[in-house]
Amino acid sequence: MESSSPQAPAGLRTTPSWLLSQTAGHAARLVAAGFAAYDLRGYHFRLLAALAEGGPASQADLGRRCAIDRSDVVAAINELAGRGLVVRAPDPADRRRNVISLTAAGADQARQLADTVGRVQDDLLAPLSESERTQLTRLLTRLLEHHSQR
């Protein structure tokens, strides 16, 4: 928290929900700044990472896997295709669908962005030991899985 900003009441500063939201906001700013160096955003990274991990996919499948709305997937794919990071081609099994594939430049960009995410994690979690980082990740994963089941 910046020293120029007002300090939240103690009763709030000690609640996990407030701490999580403040930390998430800081993490989002760090990630956004890292991606901005490449003139890209989180959606771009999510799509490139999904393609790097899972191979070519339809736009609809990418949207579901990355939890991105259909119209946002189309816009992000258009931007990535315009930069030569992905190619869009009709699906041979169903010509109404497009299959998105990563180009060599897209695979390189995905690796660069993954490295950026790694550096952001190191910056964000700098005050924690390796075992504390592992424990935090495990606990956050457990919370997310619990609330994702609802």
| Alpha-carbon dihedral 112, 54, 121, 12, rounded to 10 degrees | 140
Joined together, the tokens standing for residue 137 give: 């990740």
**Per-residue pLDDT reduced to its tens digit, 14-34:** 899 999 999 999 999 999 999
Does some domain include residue 134?
no
Does some domain include residue 56?
yes
Domain of residue 70: give its range.
Answer: 13-124
**135 versus 10: which is more confidently predicted?**
135
What SS3 state is found at 108? helix
**Per-residue pLDDT reduced to its tens digit, 45-64:** 999 999 999 999 999 999 99
**92 versus 143: which is more confidently predicted?**
143
Q: Which pTM value belongs to this model?
A: 0.85
DSSP 8: P
Q: Which residues contact 118 (CB under 8 A, 6 or more apart)?
A: none
Look over the chain and give the mean of its residue pLDDT values, rounded to a whole number. 92
Does some domain include residue 7?
no
CATH of the domain at 23: 1.10.10.10
18, 12 Cβ separation under 8 angstroms: yes
Does 140 score more than 50 pLDDT?
yes
Q: Please say whether the dihedral angle defined by the alpha carbons of residues 54, 56, 59 and 60, taken in this order, is positive or negative.
A: negative
- Say how many domains are in the chain: 1
